[in-house]
Chains A and B, each alone.
Chain A
Amino acid sequence: METKLLLEHAVRIADADTSGDVTAADARIIAFLLENCEFSFPQSAVFFGDCSCETVTRQITWRRQRRFCTDIFTEENRKAVSAGAYSGDPDFGHTAPLWDDILKLGLPGLRARVLELAPENDSVFVQSELLVLDAASAFLKRIAPIAADAGKTELAAGLLHLADHAPETLFQAMQLMFVYYTLQHHFEGTNLRTLGRLDRLFAPFAEKEDPQTVRNLVRDFLREIDTLRAPANIPFMLCGSDASGRDLTNDMSRLILETYTELKPSNTKFHILCTPDTPKDFLRSAFESVKNGANSMVFMNDRMVIESLRKLGETPEAAVNYSVVGCYECGGAEETACTCNARLNLPKALELALHGGCDALTGEKIGADTDGDYPTFEALYDAFCVQVRYLARQAMDITDRYEEKYALLHASPFFTATYPTCLKKGADVYCGYSAAYNNSSLNAIGLATAVDSLAAIRKLVYEDKRMTLDEFIAVLDSNWKDQAVLQGIIRKKYPRYGNGDPAVDALAGSVVKVLSDAVNNVPNAKGGVYRLGLFSIDWCIDYGAQTAASADGRSSGETLSQNTGASFGANRDGTTAHLHSVTAIDASDTANGAIVDLDLHSSAVRGENGTTVLAATLQTYLEKGGFAIHYNVLDTETLEDARVHPENYPNLQVRLCGWNVKFTELSASAQEAFIRRSRYQFR
């Protein structure tokens, strides 16, 4: 059955359900899809193939959202959201199933565990779980002959094995990852965000095989996951530590890195979970790969991630077995981290403090009542904090109102089956908030823009007394009209975040503390808590477009600063100074992710010493308590040439915000902006 018909039928099943809980309806829809979707095996397929039902369950969820989520935004919320002050969303993604359990148990083992752990075996929940797990086995048996007909006998045999058994070989283990990824992503519509710690998952299977077979399989696996249709790439992880603090880097970590370096896949990114004991030669190899244009590695600070999750009240076991469930966000074992719920525009909070709670562009009252009379910088800063707390609360209220409706929106039986805690509670992970940690998130965007603006006002108005606050607000309201000199001086000469200036960095540290107090461990609607993140992805562009001229010299509509990095062009003193500033933030308060992107010109990291310097930069950043770091090693000439001759650079990757894109697929204006940025930074 083709997608359109599948969707029509799924809608009928959904509409027939009046139970007030979608667990049973979604199980029926998924079973129906498994039974009826079209399935094919591309010529290149080694492990699995493509189904025709990719978006069906997601569309069902959207339909329900439109139907049930009608009273989410207050009138003020609506004005604030359209002014770009904050927002909130439901998030049925950014999750990690327990891959270890999936590979250990297989489909039949997961089924048996449902019966073993669930409190009542005749409940709607258990029946729904059994329905989908049985349908998955039947599905594998249905498509195995299609694979055999396509001449893929090993693939077909593997599918038949996995229908009734746990994986025994490395091939089957890899195949089950594809199967379970597809069951979650395409059938139940959960935006799964990691393939797990591949080195740890594969090692026990690889031990039983000869090395050449293992090499070939790893190569095939990396090639094929590159073809998975996943938004913003589908990442995996390497290294990390265990409960005793031992570094887990193994031969499989090395083999995967080596194979990745050789293949240069274009749609794959991965996270290296760095401990103090991650072998130096492993990191050097990683940096050699980065220097060769593999811009898709993110280096995570294992120690800080674990600490941040512990501060959210997670057990040591849950924290140490965390996953990176998105671009940089981390969730503990059996946690639904929901890392893209609420977000707020930090520079907008300052804009509101300067305008009595009103948006400077729309004139609408969307913030807290702050009077606007600030005799001291401290008084202004307090008002800014009041606005931050207010916007955060509003954004979390929106999120809460969405999350209160989860039972009406979306069930995830395959994902749920991997969490023993959910089984013991006998409820779906989303409909019943049954994970060990049912958390929510808030991301604050534009940290450097806000900090630089505060620092500029402090110097201009309160220290140097060059003009009064009201006069300066008038300059901002005019969008620097006839004030190019002042704008230039503030941009070029004023103290700015990103240069290791202790006074400015301290301001950044205290803003993050204010955010942390307003967000971290604040109860949500699901029996869990909120988590703070500081990553911006492309929101910094959208929010920038809606933010008036700011005191840091930024014109109205210009992009806000990205992630935890300095504002574009503000870092005048190189990488080390930049990282001094970034590590002034307490990263143990940013479980939901904090990342700095370092764009380095290839000439700056040339040769053996270049690799030494990259590795040392990472080590120092980790020791100083950074959360995550990512390197783009670029060559301006290469980018120029790629713009003119895209046909010669099919795989040139650059990392944009949180994910990798092919440079040649960027818009002309985005290409130009990227080249401009690289030129500017590599002078």
Chain B
Amino acid sequence: MKGIVSGIKRNAVHDGDGLRTTVFFKGCPLRCIWCHNPESIGFRREIGFYADKCMSCGTCTTVCADGAVRMRDDLPVTDPTRCRACFDCTAMCPGDARIGYGEVWEAAALAEKLAQDKAFFDNSGGGVTLSGGECLAQPVFARELAERLLEKGISVNVDTCGYAAKSVFEQMLPLTDTFLYDLKAIDREVHIRCTGKENDCILENLRYLTDSGAKIEIRYPYVPGWNDGECEKIGAFLAGLSVKHRIKVLGYHGLADGKYKALGLPDTLPAIEVTADDVGKAVRILHNFGLQAVNGMKDD
């Protein structure tokens, strides 16, 4: 089974226990306005262009077999109707100004590559984290990859927004070591405003996983002006579950603005700065619900 991946990050220290490799699946059903991986939103291969790195050499125009790239004012312009995202130009870009997002992998081959670091995983209690985008938006690929990793004795974590069919979670449950589960808002309208989608299935799936005994860490991206008002409701919701999960509050950062520009996407990032103290306030509120809350900007 083939799947599409926007990036692979080795030596991840903050995506679960031990040393991990995080696989970013490409494509996500949500449209979070604060998304810091915009290259993982779309399900198709695409090319990011970082104009500040461009050497204006024109190599991309000559290697493109489809004539999709032309120079205008010393910078390459891509004709989206002609570009097939074959990545011939990104492979030859001497300034790393053109980056291809969306490598297509066979699950078996990807598992093989990930297993190169097995000794590091074993010695640290780490493994592979499936993330994204939304890894469960490619459920068959995710499942096969997880199975193949498990066959090799490699632990699998699933980093998910929760927006998937319950059957997908049923399938992943026995294959997953820890779910890193995003919770962005409890209020349905707030959730729609922040992510473009309702949250019924997200809350439902979290209840299901909890009651099934899954190991879960909740992640709450804290974006003042958008979902900071949800903190109490999140606390109350989690306190009402059959198991009180650990929750990590992640401070929003706007460092991804360059990627939006490179991908030609409208920049939806809120123009705010969040400090560790801001996050600390949310952490204190969550503590009041008897939850083990962690400030993601300070501790792990």
Contacts and interface: CB of A to CB of B under 8 A. Distances in A.
Interface of A: 484-489, 491-493, 500, 573-577, 580, 604-610, 612-613, 615-617, 619-620, 623-624
A485 B123 contact: no
A580 B13 contact: no
A53 B284 CA distance: 64
B29 interface: no
A609 B94 contact: no
A619 B10 CA distance: 17
Interface in B41-69: 55, 57, 59
Interface of B: 9-11, 13-14, 17-19, 55, 57, 59, 91-96, 116-117, 119-120, 123-126, 299-300
Contact of B59 (A485, A576, A620, A624): A485
Contacts of B299: 606-607
A604 B20 CA distance: 12
Contacts of A575: 10-11
A488 B94 contact: yes
B123 A616 contact: yes
A610 B300 contact: yes
B161 to A, nearest CB: 23
A241 B17 CA distance: 32
Contacts of B55: 484-485, 488
Which among A487, A573, A576 has the highest number of chain B CB atoms within 10 Å?
A576
Given A604-B13, A613-B13, A619 B123 contact: yes
A660 B171 CA distance: 53
A485 B57 contact: yes
Nearest to B118: A620
A393 B58 CA distance: 48
Contacts of A486: 94
Contact of B95 (A488, A607, A612, A615): A488
B3 to A, nearest CB: 20
A576 B124 CA distance: 12
Contacts of A487: 94
B100 to A, nearest CB: 12
A348 to B, nearest CB: 26
Contacts of A484: 55, 57, 94
A624 B94 CA distance: 34
Contacts of A492: 93-96
B120 A620 contact: yes
24 contacts: A484-B57, A485-B59, A489-B59, A489-B93, A492-B94, A493-B92, A573-B10, A575-B10, A576-B117, A580-B116, A604-B13, A606-B14, A606-B299, A607-B300, A609-B17, A610-B13, A612-B17, A613-B13, A613-B19, A613-B124, A617-B19, A620-B119, A620-B120, A623-B123
A57 B248 CA distance: 64
Given A492-B96, A604-B11, A609 B300 contact: yes
Contacts of A612: 17-19, 124-125
A616 B124 contact: yes
A489 B92 contact: yes
Contacts of A573: 10
Contacts of B57: 484-485
Contacts of B9: 574
Contacts of B126: 613, 616
A607 B296 CA distance: 11
A605 B94 contact: no
A341 B18 CA distance: 43
B120 A617 contact: yes
B94 A574 contact: no
Contact of A620 (B91, B123, B300): B123
Contacts of A500: 116
A620 B125 CA distance: 12
A413 B95 CA distance: 60
Contacts of A608: 300
Contacts of A624: 119
Contact of A576 (B10, B92, B93, B94): B10
Contacts, number: 88
A613 B18 contact: yes
Contacts of A607: 299-300
A606 B95 CA distance: 32
A613 B125 CA distance: 9
A625 to B, nearest CB: 12
A612 to B, nearest CB: 5
Given A493-B94, A575-B11, A577-B116, 5 more contacts: A576-B10, A615-B124, A616-B19, A619-B123, A623-B119
Nearest to A490: B94
Contact of B300 (A491, A606, A617): A606
Nearest to A624: B119
B13 to A, nearest CB: 5
A574 B11 contact: yes
Contacts of B96: 492
Given A484-B57, A485-B59, A485-B94, A616 B120 contact: yes
Nearest to B121: A616
Nearest to A608: B300
A489 B92 CA distance: 6
Contacts of B125: 612, 616
B134 to A, nearest CB: 24
A336 B116 CA distance: 40
Residue among A575, A620, A624 with max Cβ neighbours from chain B (10 Å)? A620
A647 to B, nearest CB: 27
Contacts of A617: 19, 120, 124
Nearest to A604: B13
B91 A493 contact: yes
Contact of B13 (A488, A489, A605, A619): A605
Contacts of B18: 609, 612-613, 616
Contacts of B300: 606-610
B274 to A, nearest CB: 16
B248 to A, nearest CB: 11
B19 A576 contact: yes
Contacts of A488: 55, 94-95
> Which of A485, A577, A604 has most B Cβ within 10 Å?
A485
Contacts of B11: 574-576, 604, 613
B126 to A, nearest CB: 7
A127 to B, nearest CB: 57
A609 B55 CA distance: 40
A624 B120 CA distance: 10
A580 B120 CA distance: 11
B76 to A, nearest CB: 13
A278 to B, nearest CB: 13
Contacts of A493: 91-94
Nearest to B16: A609
B56 to A, nearest CB: 10
Contacts of B93: 489, 492-493
A33 B57 CA distance: 69
A615 B18 CA distance: 10
Contacts of A574: 9-11
Nearest to B58: A485
B62 to A, nearest CB: 10
* Most-contacted residue by chain B among A487, A613, A624 (CB, 10 A): A613
A288 to B, nearest CB: 15
A602 to B, nearest CB: 11
A616 B10 CA distance: 14
A598 to B, nearest CB: 10
Nearest to B300: A607
A606 B13 contact: yes
Contacts of B124: 612-613, 615-617
A489 B17 contact: no
Pairs of residues from A and B, 10 with the lowest C-beta to C-beta distance, nearest first:
A488-B94, A616-B124, A607-B300, A616-B123, A574-B11, A574-B10, A613-B19, A485-B57, A619-B123, A489-B94
A488 B93 CA distance: 8
Contacts of B120: 576, 616-617, 620
Nearest to A489: B94
Contacts of A605: 13
A612 B231 CA distance: 31
